[in-house]
Chains A and B, each alone.
Chain A
Amino acid sequence: MSGSSNLVTMKKVVQQLRFEASINRVKVSQAAADLQQFCIQNALQDPLLTGVSSSTNPFRPQKVCSFL
């Protein structure tokens, strides 16, 4: 009977919503501060951010062949 399968589905939806409503959340100000902190702490180790020089980035130096 389609009625009872609708019931099963609805029960699952409500169960899922109850679960999601119950999780602990932090304020955006706190979460944002943590994201920022992570960026700053790791900035120097980020080659694409700091623009690592050609000598240390394996992709940057173009191969140059000179025939003398």
Chain B
Amino acid sequence: MRSPPIPEMATQEVQLNETLAHLKTESETLKSKLEEERAKLHDVELHQVAEKVEGLGQFVMKTRRTLKGHGNKVLCMDWCKDKRRIVSSSQDGKVIVWDAFTTNKEHAVTMPCTWVMACAYAPSGCAVACGGLDNKCSVYPLSLDKNENLAAKKKSVAMHTNYLSACSFTNSDMQILTSSGDGTCALWDVESGQLLQSFHGHAADVLCLDLAPSETGNTFVSGGCDKKANVWDMRSGQCIQSFETHESDINSVRYYPSGDAFASGSDDATCRLYDLRADREVAIYSKESIIFGVSSVDFSLSGRLLFGGYNDYTINVWDVLKGTRVSILFGHENRVSTLRVSPDGTAFCTGSWDHTLRIWA
């Protein structure tokens, strides 16, 4: 095969550089246009709209249960739909299923790896998924027989090329969504282990994800070390909206109960609220005195309260509409690493590096 003469190659090179320069200019123009469009609609702040809303009174929230049993840092937890069972995972490789009412341990599994950073309860309540430094997400069916070895029935579902940071079942036990240190998210079929869709767009580790409430359709939001929060279409794999206002890693993302917005928690010590229809950040929850990162966030049932677990061992409770802090909760003796409100909104659970989980109400 004749290689092209040198002058021809030079022309090709020039054309390539011209096209590249063209595209760069277009991307800059589009970015400014995006900012302009978003700014045009920024006619008021959320807390201004909320001025007429009645303020919230004093909150009395205390630790009602303490779950002890993990031998090392608790990294993740999830509620079962039955509103009383909880699955938690830890740095020492243990995954425990608890009855939060009685504080009894119902199941325990030892994973073959340490740092089990992600765990999730299946919607049926019959299985749990977990993973971490093994780069996988595995599903364990929960047996009614307490003596049965859960590890024997383990099913490997997801395979990433770096650590698993988060996982969540979709509306059924059949599919799992995962996020990873390899910068991608992925949707898997549990039965076959097949990859159904992958989501590329983050420029660094993806640390968290949350599925939109089922009424709002097939989307999910992810947050990463690239300071971006991305909203994805689950069927096409496309990133449909992207938000970049945080100043550091985004450790947690959670949809507002209506599905029209989501909150994020970051190492920059702030929580933020992004409205999907306005396509912009609409609130920042921060105080000068709060300087430690937020590890996890969740809303109360009506969306009026935002709970944030922080690296300074506290939980801050925010009035979502007014932007003010309504309460600060103490109790944990190390970082709060995970926080979820129960499915019926009667309590929330926190997990900490102090090896315990606490139920607050």
B348 is an interface residue with CB less than 8 A from chain A: yes
| CB of B142 to closest CB in A, whole Å | 21
In angstroms, Cα B40 to Cα A27, docked, is: 8
Partner of A43, one of B61, B256, B275, B302: B302
Report yes or no: B305 in contact with A28, Cβ–Cβ below 8 A: no
A23 with B279: in contact, given A13-B27, A28-B43, A38-B257 (CB under 8 Å)?
yes
Which bracket fits the contact residues of A? 35 or more
Beta-carbon contacts of A37-60 to B below 8 Å, as 1s and 0s? 011111101111101100001111
| CB of A5 to closest CB in B, whole Å | 11
5 examples of A-B residue contacts, CB within 8 angstroms: A16-B201, A31-B278, A35-B282, A39-B303, A60-B361
Partner of B261, one of A18, A35, A48: A35
Which residues of B lie under 8 Å from residue A43 when comparing CB positions? Answer: 302, 304
CB contact list, B1-24 vs A, under 8 A: 13, 16-17, 19-20, 23-24
Partner of A14, one of B30, B242, B257: B30
Report yes or no: A57 in contact with B23, Cβ–Cβ below 8 A: no
Report yes or no: A7 in contact with B23, Cβ–Cβ below 8 A: yes
A45 with B302: in contact, given A7-B23, A40-B53 (CB under 8 Å)?
yes
In angstroms, Cα B37 to Cα A39, docked, is: 27
Report yes or no: B65 in contact with A16, Cβ–Cβ below 8 A: no
Report yes or no: A25 in contact with B17, Cβ–Cβ below 8 A: no
Report yes or no: A52 in contact with B346, Cβ–Cβ below 8 A: yes
Report yes or no: A48 in contact with B101, Cβ–Cβ below 8 A: no
A48 with B305: in contact, given A39-B321, A57-B347 (CB under 8 Å)?
yes
B241 is an interface residue with CB less than 8 A from chain A: yes
* Residue in A19, A20, A27 with the greatest tally of chain B CB atoms within 10 Å: A20
Report yes or no: A25 in contact with B277, Cβ–Cβ below 8 A: yes
| CB of B174 to closest CB in A, whole Å | 30
A4 with B16: in contact, given A28-B44, A35-B260 (CB under 8 Å)?
yes
A17 is an interface residue with CB less than 8 A from chain B: yes
A33 is an interface residue with CB less than 8 A from chain B: yes
Report yes or no: A46 in contact with B53, Cβ–Cβ below 8 A: no
Partner of A48, one of B42, B256, B300: B300
5 closest cross-chain pairs (CB), A and B: A42-B302, A46-B302, A17-B30, A31-B278, A32-B49
